[in-house]
Amino acid sequence: MTIPVSPWAALRMCCLGGALLVAKLALCQIPQSNPPTETAAVPVLDDFTTRQVIAERPVLPYQSVREADILFEKRIWRVIDVREKMNLPFTYPEAPLFTILADAAKAGQLQAYADDRFAEPMTLSDVENQIATVDTLYVYNMDTQTDELQVVKNDIDPNSIRRFRMKEAWFFDTNTGQLRVRILGIAPLVEVTNDNGDFMYEKPLFWIHYPSSRSLLARQKVYAPGGNMSATMTWEDIFEMRYFASMVYKESNPYDRRIQDYLSGEDIVYESAKIKDDLFNREHDLWSW
């Protein structure tokens, strides 16, 4: 028995069959994708724009000073304690000053010296030995199933550097009629303890000649006071603007001794303030008629 089919129903069935055939042919032509493979992560920018102001900043040279124009000069040694509130940028976790100086000295970008007169240059191996501690410990060897003694070298923790020394030259320039200052060197200090962990003394790890390091410090951004992340303040700005707190621990003298060598207790603080006042008064005395 034959069931009659209307022309419209036959047309719809033909269209549906054609659509199914085209879809099947299209699926057959889709190439099979290869299994995903591991690729290296593409570095991304941890910012919303590219920063080039600090990287391209030129360093302005110092104004030349004639020796004949120097009427008065004194050398001053200071100590900067990073635990003071004004000196908190020195320990900014992303780029502490010690890490900047140590990495540059290890890479040979800055010449490190063993003394504050910059007469004893240090080699790269000397710098490595100064900024790293060597420990010996027993490590269990799975192959031999025994404890073996190994030497482990660890870099100094930047948080353990709590103070810096700074050497300066203060002079009165008759050409400009000003008492001026030039920073000569910077040194990070490390605490030396005995076997019981008791503090004994502190020593400089190395000295950096500041005039030679200005170009590098001018390209190192510092955490700006006030928390403005868009500020373009660098370490060279911090030192040239003298935006740090410090205490004088030595001045040039015929005995080459520090204040703590002839005073103790709170008298050291008073003597440090007295040296600062003497510099200020010396400038006024040179202008007296």
Percent share of the chain, pLDDT over 90: 54
pTM of the model: 0.80
**pLDDT of amino acid 226:** 77
pLDDT: is 179 or 41 the higher one? 179
| 22-80: pLDDT as tens digits | 555 555 554 555 565 666 677 888 888 888 888 888 888 999 999 999 999 999 999 99
pLDDT: is 157 or 239 the higher one? 239
Residue 71 CB contacts under 8 Å (≥ 6 apart), including other chains: 171, 172, 173, 174, 286
The domain spans of the chain are 67-286
**pLDDT of amino acid 4:** 55
Please determine, for residue 1, whether its predicted confidence score (pLDDT) is greater than 50. no
What would the mean pLDDT of 178-202 be, rounded to a whole number? 91
Q: Which of 237, 242, 238 is nearest to 59 (CA)?
A: 237
**Average per-residue pLDDT for the chain:** 85
What would the mean pLDDT of 10-16 be, rounded to a whole number? 59
Q: Which of 76, 32, 100 is nearest to 167 (CA)?
A: 76
Please determine, for residue 267, whether its predicted confidence score (pLDDT) is greater than 80. yes
- Yes or no: say if 168 and 181 are a contact pair by the CB < 8 Å rule: yes
**pLDDT of amino acid 45:** 82
- Yes or no: say if 78 and 186 are a contact pair by the CB < 8 Å rule: no
pLDDT: is 197 or 64 the higher one? 64
Residue 201 CB contacts under 8 Å (≥ 6 apart), including other chains: 191, 192
- Yes or no: say if 88 and 96 are a contact pair by the CB < 8 Å rule: no
CA 176 → CA 50, 70, 168, 172, 212, distances in Å? 41, 10, 19, 9, 25
| 93-126: pLDDT as tens digits | 888 999 999 999 999 999 999 999 999 999 999 9
What would the mean pLDDT of 142-171 be, rounded to a whole number? 85
Please determine, for residue 13, whether its predicted confidence score (pLDDT) is greater than 80. no
**pLDDT of amino acid 57:** 82
**pLDDT of amino acid 8:** 57
Please determine, for residue 227, whether its predicted confidence score (pLDDT) is greater than 50. yes
